[in-house]
Structure 1
Amino acid sequence: MEFIKAHSARILAVVSAALALVVYYVPDLPDALIYAFAVALLGGGEVTQRVVVPARRNIPPLDF
């Protein structure tokens, strides 16, 4: 769990890139599935921001 907290922005970037590659190379995916993943990534970005930014400012992060 510490690895995820320490590298959450990098993990989100890898997942985003992987999703982009899947969408490009698998054209038969339903649009609703692609939109759902995009919304989930946006939510993940928000969580990443709440974890990474306070750590850089020495502010205790939110407990999830």
Structure 2
Amino acid sequence: MSNQAERAEPGDIEKLNEEKIEKVLQRFMGYPEIFMNCVHPGFVKTNINWNTGVMSTEEGLRGQSC
């Protein structure tokens, strides 16, 4: 798989839409050895947000249970 098209397509913000994102995702889905994982723990107290978060870093590390 060439990197160039995958980098260029999402980078064109003016023309980016849900359909284009879906196309890029479908191309990646053709490679089952690639794994994508994402966890959004919530608003965690860190230096980036001046420790104004609602949970500790330890709680954020555990992630949210679904």
TM-score under structure 1 length normalisation: 0.34
Q: Return the structure number with greater relative CO, CA threshold 8 A, min gap 6.
A: 1
- Structure with bigger gyration radius: 2
The structure richer in helix per residue is 1
